[in-house]
């Protein structure tokens, strides 16, 4: 039986770059309260003044998980207050947050959003690999930002399909502690037509990259050149983007990260950011950066951002 709702105050900045520990701690509290202690939660958005797409996706996925795994007749396991900031409410609405909670959007009938503003693309949650979804999403996320050559379009779709496959096929290969929705992944996007920029994010709540890598002796020798004796989650993420092979051992797998990097190298600007458990990995034209934190996120979040002022192309192999 549920007790009274447990209040959770969300941080002012829902951002994994500048307020990672606060965001992850709030999501951990949400999931532990609902999934482990079987108590209802009310999320307070009153003080939120900044919303990062990646943090929004992590929160949406946590709510989705709690709402679908803990259901009581006539009662919702997660509810929340409306944001006081209209732009925050508009971003959450675009992401599908209010529809997820089953409540009326506060931006209905509100002042029309300004033109050329960044747009969130509605999140999608699936438990299968859909090539058509990957193709449609890539078309949508680049619309109004920049055009793609046929080769580039094929590479982008293939990279997204592989990310779906990684989440679907082995992200949930071992217990994670709290109940999970096996094989499920979440997809979201961010489009900024004015800046000619697109962003694709894909998330799973599985065991993390460090527990799915299949490192052969040769791979270890290659990877440890840049690693410590006991590699951290961040270092193992870095290795995963270079090894071109995961635990599936399938021919052709492991190209996704490589193609994402090649896009960044061939376009005006971009970043590949991968968060998994305690690790964080970032790749730009200037190089790569690895970091580790005390508090792990549940699973793996891949964020791929590209900005380009003309037709994007990549060299064919």
Question: What architecture is the 116-317 domain classified under in CATH?
Answer: 2-Layer Sandwich (3.30)
Check: CB of residue 18 under 8 Å from CB of residue 56: no
Is the pLDDT assigned to residue 32 strictly greater than 60? yes
Q: What is the pLDDT of residue 102?
A: 75
pTM, 2 dp: 0.89
Is the pLDDT assigned to residue 253 strictly greater than 70? no
What is the per-residue burial (b if ≥16 Cβ within 10 Å, else e) of 227-264? beeebbbbbbbbbbbebebbeeeeeebbbbbbbbbbbb
pLDDT above 90 as % of the chain: 38
Residue 8 CA to residue 14 CA, distance in Å, equals 13
Task: Pull the structure tokens for residue 94.
Answer: 């675009």
Q: What is the pLDDT of residue 17?
A: 95
Is the pLDDT assigned to residue 188 strictly greater than 50? yes
Domain ranges of the chain: 1-113, 116-317
């Amino acid at each position: 039986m549920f007790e009274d709702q447990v209040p959770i105050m969300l941080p002012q900045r829902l951002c994994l770059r500048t307020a990672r520990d606060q965001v992850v701690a709030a999501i951990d509290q949400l999931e532990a309260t609902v999934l482990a202690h079987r108590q209802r939660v009310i999320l307070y958005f009153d003080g939120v003044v900044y919303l990062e797409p990646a943090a929004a996706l992590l929160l949406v996925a946590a709510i989705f998980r709690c709402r679908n795994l803990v259901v009581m007749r006539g009662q919702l396991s997660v509810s929340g207050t409306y944001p006081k900031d209209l732009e925050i409410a508009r971003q959450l609405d675009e992401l599908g947050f209010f529809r997820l909670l089953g409540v009326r959007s506060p931006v209905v009938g509100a002042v029309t959003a300004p033109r050329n503003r960044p747009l969130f693309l509605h999140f999608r949650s699936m438990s299968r690999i859909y090539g058509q979804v990957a193709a449609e999403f890539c078309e949508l996320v680049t619309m109004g930002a920049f055009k793609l050559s046929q080769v580039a379009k094929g590479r982008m779709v293939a990279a997204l399909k592989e990310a779906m496959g990684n989440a679907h096929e082995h992200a949930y290969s071992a217990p994670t502690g709290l109940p999970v929705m096996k094989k499920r992944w979440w997809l979201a996007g961010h489009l900024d037509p004015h800046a000619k920029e697109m962003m694709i994010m894909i998330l799973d709540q599985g065991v993390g990259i460090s527990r799915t890598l299949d490192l052969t002796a040769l791979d270890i020798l290659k990877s440890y050149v840049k690693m410590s004796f006991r590699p951290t989650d961040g270092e193992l993420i870095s290795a995963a983007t270079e090894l071109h092979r995961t635990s599936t051992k399938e021919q052709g797998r492991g190209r996704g990260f490589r193609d994402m990097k090649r896009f960044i190298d061939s376009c005006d600007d971009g970043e590949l950011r991968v968060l998994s458990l305690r690790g964080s990995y970032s790749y730009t034209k200037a190089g790569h950066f690895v970091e580790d934190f005390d508090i792990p996120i549940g699973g793996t979040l891949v964020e791929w951002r590209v900005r380009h002022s003309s037709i994007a192309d990549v060299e064919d192999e």
